């Protein structure tokens, strides 16, 4: 035993399971990657510290207590533990520093003192944050605005359980704005929307710079997850004489003059190639 | 740490390691009451009728091999099958097959034959007319066509820990998407909405090697994206008078490859971590170009080149230093640089306007490039137990080519307070400002491109932003209740813009409550409200503004539910309710007339799910699931817009959604293997 630090239990996991062996929420860890005895990196691998690899030395917790005395808490990941979030996270990073934790210290999550255990349930056979259908529910515990936004009429299929937050974001840290999974926002979007990558012969300047100039990726009231309704969105940047500068009024609705500049896909009825055109005659993004 | 502890007697005799195979398999059938694009979107329940379905998950744990699998919705168009396995600590593999249906409209109809091909043909004998109402063959030609597509993805990946401290990974993913989407086809004074074909294929590769030892970790990675469009163009018969056929260039094949190096170093001094990333990429697109027009009767000069010859180089650099000089303090310095260098050669191009007329003059293609750098410093300090303060400053610079603003800088500052007076109560407040300033808005360049010189494009314009966040959380350990409230506010002022976006603000309020009423009963409630307002101005006279518009979005979402477990030790019940309603109000004022208030754009979504489970044995459970979904919208862009409603727009007649669907499902779940308690 380490003479300098707190003592470990006498028999490792067997000591713990003497009390916790009937607790289903505890023993499920043996059906997870952390509970693989043949994996030398696993807490239950040969020579590893088993439960105490993560929870810290359990000698005090497992030792005798006097009548009326409160049983000391386990040092980490336990009710009553005095460890800080950073100290708890350090237990995880002790093994995961090279993979999940490589960029952790740079992340907004670390800066905001989010604990690994705030998101991960390492005893669960199926950790909810690692499954597409259940992951957003974990993220939404903190990101409450996004929980509502994914229910908007035009949104990625997150509420349907078919897309998760990690499809776009790297929650363990990436040196990108918004913890995006790729180097830039557009690179991230191109992961599923590669057809928009180009480069096109005729580009649309705000498109190549930032998809979020026009789109709200967490959901919108407007088709295409646009930030605002056309033609007003387009008219925020296009003021050329003629139809781009016209103030389209409600008289142009279907029960009025039925304006092609207002109805259907409004500007896109003609300028359908807003993401870029590869047609030699496509400089106006119409071909 | 383990080496310092004598674990020779730690035999783990009572550790219930799995040995062998265990799985849950569910088989069921669901009845859907009505056709529905909304419910069908992402689920596959798009038509009324009965659907058989299979779900499941399993685990095999051998002496040294571990294998897990997951099957989801195998009977639906949203199916997914994933398998992961390997020898933990040595190698791992993963296979993934998934499909995702995208369903937009099932109320649409088209006059075109051969939908799904790259040529849209009008019925024989079609008589063009300048107005849709005067097209004699229109009504008879209309046939239903769903606007829908399906995405299939197949992935395979491996992890290998070949040598100590090194591990290698490689993932390959192929995505295919096929179906129909809407594309506008301009006939100059008229337009037709076309049901265009989608036939995409994308291969994505991520591969790399990681080294981690002691304080160092380094990763070298390669990313490749290879997109193929099997429909390179769309040719369509013009239903209006004028040209006979039009042709669009569809999305061209493109490749992108990127090599990156990243790493971290944990320095003992001041608890400092240094991290860096350097990535260099190249994107290429060299598709054969179409001629200026499909109309061989129009005499146009030859193309400057036969292929696009387009290429972009990207550079991404990042460096961060994070330090805890002492336990109460933390400092983080970040620098990031992103460059997109478009090396596509410029040329002068003629233009045949909508396959009809050779326009005078010529245009040069513009290869947009930018350089963006961000320098940020954040610091936090724990004043005393339960109180932490933080602040930060960020400087963002963007340099661009060929746009009104060549150089632009934004300075952002914020302050933050955490207060946790008791372990059960936490308050967070954050507020700050950001000022974005273009060095110069080049009005001459704007005029050269036909823009009103008073316009300021909102992503290039001067902007002053104020923002604030607040969060209050209450989670006492001694009570079975937790609650939290959050608020986000931002206010943007484009005070130096006369035309274009003038102002925008947003306010989001969100709250949630969860209550474990007993060991078996739990309830939750989420409520959120959001408002996004914008104001802009325009000019019909190519002069000072003579009209304004307000665009206000409001949105409310509610989620509530209850879980009851082990009723009579046999039954579980869950009930979930989600409701979301959106309203958008648009008012255009002027020119020379009073306010024009558009009908509100409205959406209403309600979803109720009741699930009843009955465990007839430790291995067998029966499930009854009842789901009711309502989705209604009011949208003036679609309302009443039949194919012949707008005289100069041949639409597809897409109607606003008005769907309510009842789904009733019955299933059994059987547990195989050691996980079940006999």
pTM of the model: 0.95
Three-state SS at B335: strand
Tell me if B223 sits within 8 A of B258, measured CB to CB: yes
Q: Which two tokens stand for residue B471?
A: 């969060």
Is pLDDT above 90 for B131? yes
Q: How far apart are CA B502 and CA A275, in angstroms?
A: 25
Chain B nearest CA to A204, separation (Å): 8
Contacts of A251 in chain B (CB under 8 A): 596
- Contact list, B42 vs chain A (CB under 8 Å): 157, 160, 162
Pairwise CA distance, residues B54 & B307, whole Å: 48
CA–CA gap between residue B579 and residue B556 (Å, rounded): 8
Q: Which helix (H) or strand (E) holds B201?
A: strand B191-213
User: Closest approach of chain B CAs to the CA of A251, in angstroms?
Assistant: 8
Confidence of residue B3 (pLDDT cuts 50, 70, 90): low
The Cα–Cα gap between B201 and B177 comes to 7
Q: Which two tokens stand for residue B12?
A: 């783990």
Name which of A148, A241, A263 is nearest B646 (Cβ-Cβ).
A263
DSSP B37: H
Q: pLDDT tens-digit profile of B605-663?
A: 999 999 999 999 999 999 999 999 999 999 999 999 999 999 999 999 999 999 999 99
Which residues in chain A touch residue B37, judged by CB atoms under 8 angstroms apart?
none
Six-digit token string for B219: 């990763």
Name the more confident of B213 and B462.
B462
Above pLDDT 70, what percent of chain B?
99
User: Would you give the end-to-end CA distance of chain A in angstroms?
Assistant: 75
Rounded Cα distance between A42 and B6, Å, is 17
Query: Per-10-residue mean pLDDT for chain A, 287 residues long?
Result: 72 95 93 90 92 96 91 94 92 86 88 94 95 96 95 96 97 90 97 97 97 97 97 97 96 97 98 98 97
Q: Are strands B352-353 and B595-597 parallel, antiparallel or unpaired?
A: unpaired
Interchain CB contact of A248 with B (< 8 Å): yes
The C-alpha atoms of residue A125 and residue A26 are separated, in whole angstroms, by 10
DSSP B122: P
Report the residue from A35, A232, A278 with minimal CB separation from B289.
Answer: A278
DSSP string of B496-537, one letter each residue: T-SBEEEEEEEEEEEEEEEEE-SSSEEEEEEEEEEEEEEEEE
Q: In this predicted model, what pLDDT tens digit does every residue of B96-113 receive, in sequence order?
A: 999 999 999 999 999 999
pLDDT of res. B385: 87
Tell me the chain A residues in contact with residue B604 when contact means C-beta distances shorter than 8 Å: none
Vertex B452 angle, CA B449 and B454, to 5°: 130
Cα B533 from Cα B554, distance rounded (Å): 8
Residues of chain B with Cβ-Cβ distance to A126 below 8 Å are 57
Question: From the list A195, A228, A259, which residue is nearest B551 (CB)?
Answer: A228
Residue among B312, B320, B637 minimizing CB distance to A266: B637
Contact by Cβ (8 Å): A43, A53:
yes
Answer yes or no: are the C-beta atoms of A227 and B424 closer than 8 Å. no
Find the helix or strand (DSSP H, E) in which A185 lies. helix A185-190
How confident is the model at residue B2, as a pLDDT? 56
Which of these, B333, B455, B477, B478, lies nearest to B404 by C-alpha position? Answer: B455
ipTM for the whole complex: 0.96
Gap between the Cα atoms of B319 and B314, Å rounded: 17
Q: Which residues in chain B have their CB less than 8 angstroms from residue A97's CB? A: 212, 217, 266
Give residue B455's pLDDT band: very low, low, confident or very high (50, 70, 90): very high
Q: How far apart are CA B142 and CA B420, in angstroms?
A: 65
Judged by CB atoms closer than 8 Å, whether chains meet at A49 and B601 is answered as no
Instruction: Write out the H or E segment, with its range, that includes residue A23.
Output: none
What tens digit of pLDDT does each residue of B409-440 get? 999 999 999 999 998 999 999 999 999 999 99
In DSSP terms, B83 is beta-bridged to B69, B95
Confidence of residue B268 (pLDDT cuts 50, 70, 90): confident
Rg over alpha carbons for chain A, rounded to the nearest Å, is 27
Find, among B553, B556, B548, the residue nearest to B533 by Cα.
B553
The answer to whether residue B123 scores a pLDDT higher than 90 is yes
Mean model confidence pLDDT for chain B: 95
What one-character DSSP code corresponds to residue B52?
E
DSSP B121: B
Q: Does A46 touch chain B (CB under 8 A)?
A: no
Task: Please name the member of A190, A197, A221 whose beta carbon is closest to the beta carbon of B582.
Answer: A221
At which residue do the structure tokens 């659907």 appear?
B51
Give the DSSP letter string of B421-477: EETTEEEEEEEEEEEEEES-B-HHHHHHTT--TTB--TTTS-EEEEEEEEEEEE--T
> Which residues 6+ apart lie within 8 Å of A24 measured at CB?
none
- Residue (of B631, B638, B624) closest to B605 by Cα position: B631
User: Would you call B654 helix, strand, or coil by DSSP?
Assistant: coil
Residue B1 has a pLDDT of 52
Q: Which helix (H) or strand (E) holds A186?
A: helix A185-190
Q: Angle CA(B214)–CA(B215)–CA(B221) in degrees, nearest 5? A: 95
Are A287 and B353 contacting, i.e. CB atoms less than 8 angstroms apart?
no
CB B430 within 8 A of CB B455: no
| Side-chain half-sphere exposure of B116, counting CA atoms within 13 A | 7
ω into B591 cis (within 30 of 0):
yes
Cα gap B82→B543, rounded to integer Å: 60
pLDDT (0 to 100) of residue B677:
47
pLDDT at B675 over 60: no
CB contact under 8 Å between B320 and A157, yes or no, is: no
Q: By C-alpha distance, which of B420, B416, B411, B370 is closest to B391?
A: B416
Beta carbons of A191 and B204 less than 8 Å apart: yes
Alpha-carbon gap, residue B494 to B501, rounded angstroms: 7
DSSP B208-225: EEEEEETTEEEEEEEEEE
Say yes or no to pLDDT of B671 above 50.
Answer: yes
What is the rounded end-to-end Cα distance, in angstroms, of chain B? 40
Q: Is B616 exposed, middle or buried (0-12, 13-18, 19+ CB in 10 A)?
A: exposed
Residue B676: pLDDT band by 50, 70, 90 thresholds? very low
Do A229 and B378 make contact, defined as CB atoms within 8 angstroms?
A: no
pLDDT (0 to 100) of residue B63: 80
Q: DSSP for A71-82, please give it.
A: PPPPSSSSTT--
B555-612 pLDDT, tens digit each: 999 999 999 999 999 999 999 999 999 999 999 999 989 999 999 999 999 999 999 9
Torsion over CA: A60, A64, A65, A66 (sign): negative
In whole angstroms, give the CA distance from residue B455 to residue B469.
32
Smallest Cβ–Cβ distance between A236 and the set B248, B256, B500 belongs to B500
* CA distances, B190 to each of A200, B126, B132, B182, B649 (Å): 26, 17, 9, 16, 6
When CB atoms are compared, the residue of A229, A237, A269 closest to B584 is A229
Give me the half-sphere count of Cα atoms (radius 13 Å) on the Cβ side of residue B245: 17
| Tally of residues, chain B | 678
Residue B171 has pLDDT above 70, yes or no: yes
Torsion (CA) B238, B243, B244, B250 in degrees, nearest 10: -60
d(CA A231, CA A259): 11
Secondary structure letter of residue B117 according to DSSP: B
Residue A17 per-residue DSSP state: H
CB neighbours of B214 closer than 8 A, spacing ≥ 6? none
Hey, which residues 120-159 in chain A have their CB within 8 Å of chain B? 125-126, 131, 133, 144-145, 147-149, 151-153, 157, 159
Residues from chain B contacting residue A31 (CB–CB below 8 Å) = 18, 59, 61, 675
């Amino acid at each position: 035993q380490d003479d300098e630090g707190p003592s470990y239990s006498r028999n490792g996991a067997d000591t713990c399971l003497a009390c916790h062996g009937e607790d289903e929420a505890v023993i499920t860890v043996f059906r997870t990657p952390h509970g693989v005895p043949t994996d030398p990196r696993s807490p239950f691998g040969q020579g590893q510290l088993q439960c105490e690899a993560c929870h810290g030395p359990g000698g005090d917790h497992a030792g005798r207590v006097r009548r009326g005395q409160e049983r000391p808490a386990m040092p980490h990941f336990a009710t009553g533990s005095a460890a800080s979030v950073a100290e708890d996270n350090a237990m995880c990073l002790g093994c995961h520093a090279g993979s999940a934790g490589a960029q952790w210290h740079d992340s907004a999550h670390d800066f905001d003192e989010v604990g690994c255990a705030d998101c991960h349930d390492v005893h669960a056979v199926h950790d909810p944050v690692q499954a597409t259908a259940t992951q957003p529910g974990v993220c939404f515990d903190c990101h409450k605005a996004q929980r509502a936004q994914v229910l908007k009429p035009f949104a990625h299929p997150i509420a349907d359980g078919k897309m998760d937050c990690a499809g776009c974001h790297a929650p363990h840290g990436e040196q990108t704005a918004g913890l995006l999974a790729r180097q830039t926002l557009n690179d991230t979007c191109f992961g599923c929307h590669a057809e928009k990558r180009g480069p096109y012969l005729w580009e649309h300047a705000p498109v190549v710079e930032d998809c979020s100039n026009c789109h709200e990726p967490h959901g919108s009231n407007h088709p295409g997850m646009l930030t605002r309704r056309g033609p007003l969105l387009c008219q925020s940047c296009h003021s050329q004489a003629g139809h781009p500068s016209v103030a389209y009024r409600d008289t142009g609705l279907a029960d009025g003059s039925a304006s092609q500049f207002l109805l259907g896909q409004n500007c896109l009825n003609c300028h359908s190639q807003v993401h870029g055109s590869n047609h030699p005659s496509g400089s106006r993004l119409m071909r | 740490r383990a080496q310092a502890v004598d674990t020779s007697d730690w035999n783990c005799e009572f550790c219930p390691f799995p040995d062998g195979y265990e799985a849950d398999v569910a088989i069921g059938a669901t009845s859907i009451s009505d056709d529905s694009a909304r419910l069908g979107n992402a689920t596959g329940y798009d038509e009324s009728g009965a659907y058989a379905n299979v779900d499941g998950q399993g685990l095999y744990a051998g002496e040294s091999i571990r294998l897990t699998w997951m099957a989801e919705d195998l009977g639906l168009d949203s199916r997914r099958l994933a398998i992961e396995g390997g020898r933990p600590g040595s190698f791992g593999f993963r296979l993934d097959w998934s499909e995702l249906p995208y369903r937009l409209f099932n109320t649409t109809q088209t006059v075109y034959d051969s939908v799904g091909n790259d040529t849209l043909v009008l019925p024989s004998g079609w008589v063009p007319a300048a107005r849709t109402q005067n097209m004699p063959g229109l009504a008879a030609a209309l046939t239903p066509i769903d606007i829908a597509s399906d995405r299939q993805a197949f992935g395979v990946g491996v992890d290998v820990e070949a040598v100590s401290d090194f591990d290698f990974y490689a993932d390959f993913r192929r995505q295919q998407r096929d179906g129909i989407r809407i594309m506008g086809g301009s006939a100059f004074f008229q337009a037709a909405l076309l049901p265009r074909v989608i036939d995409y294929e994308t291969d994505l590769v991520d591969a790399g090697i990681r080294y981690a030892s002691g304080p160092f970790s380094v990763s070298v990675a390669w990313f490749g994206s290879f997109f193929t469009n099997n429909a390179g163009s769309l040719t369509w018969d013009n239903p209006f008078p004028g040209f006979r056929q039009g042709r669009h260039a569809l999305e061209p094949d493109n490749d992108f490859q990127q090599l990156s190096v990243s790493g971290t170093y944990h320095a003992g001094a001041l608890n400092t971590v240094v991290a860096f990333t350097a990535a260099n990429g190249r994107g290429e697109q060299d598709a054969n170009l179409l001629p200026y027009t499909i109309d061989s009767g129009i005499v146009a000069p030859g193309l400057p080149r036969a292929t696009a010859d387009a290429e972009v180089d990207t550079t991404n650099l990042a460096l961060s230093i994070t330090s805890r000089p002492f336990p109460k303090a933390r400092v983080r310095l970040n620098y990031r640089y992103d460059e997109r260098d478009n090396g596509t050669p410029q040329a002068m191009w003629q233009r045949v306007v909508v396959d009809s007329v050779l326009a005078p003059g010529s245009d040069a293609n513009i290869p947009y490039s930018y350089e963006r750098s961000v320098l940020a410093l954040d610091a936090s300090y724990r004043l005393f137990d339960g109180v932490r303060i933080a602040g930060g400053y960020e400087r963002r610079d963007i340099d661009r080519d060929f746009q009104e603003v060549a150089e632009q800088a934004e300075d952002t500052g914020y302050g933050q307070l955490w207060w946790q007076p008791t372990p059960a109560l936490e308050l967070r407040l954050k507020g700050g400002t950001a000022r974005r300033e273009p060095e110069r808005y080049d009005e001459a360049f704007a005029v050269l491109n036909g823009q009103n010189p008073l316009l300021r494009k909102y992503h290039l314009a001067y902007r002053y932003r104020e923002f604030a966040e607040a969060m209050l959380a209450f989670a006492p350990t001694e009570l079975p209740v937790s609650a939290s409230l959050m608020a986000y506010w931002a206010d943007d002022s484009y005070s130096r813009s006369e035309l274009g976006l003038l102002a925008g603000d947003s306010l989001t309020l969100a709250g949630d409550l969860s209550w474990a009423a007993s060991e078996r009963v739990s309830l939750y409630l989420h409520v959120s409200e959001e408002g996004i307002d914008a104001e802009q101005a325009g000019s019909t006279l190519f002069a000072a503004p003579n009209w304004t518009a307000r665009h206000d979005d409001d949105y409310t979402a509610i989620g509530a539910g209850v879980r009851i477990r082990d009723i009579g030790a046999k039954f579980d019940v869950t009930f979930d309710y989600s409701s979301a309603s959106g309203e958008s109000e648009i008012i255009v004022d002027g020119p020379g007339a009073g306010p024009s208030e558009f009908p509100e754009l409205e959406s209403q979504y309600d979803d109720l799910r009741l699930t009843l489970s009955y465990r007839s044995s430790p291995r067998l459970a029966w499930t009854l699931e009842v789901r009711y979904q309502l989705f209604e919208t009011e949208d003036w862009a679609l309302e009443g817009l039949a194919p012949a409603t707008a005289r100069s727009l041949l639409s597809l007649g897409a109607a606003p959604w008005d769907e309510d669907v009842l789904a009733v499902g019955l299933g059994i779940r059987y547990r195989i293997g050691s996980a079940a308690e006999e």
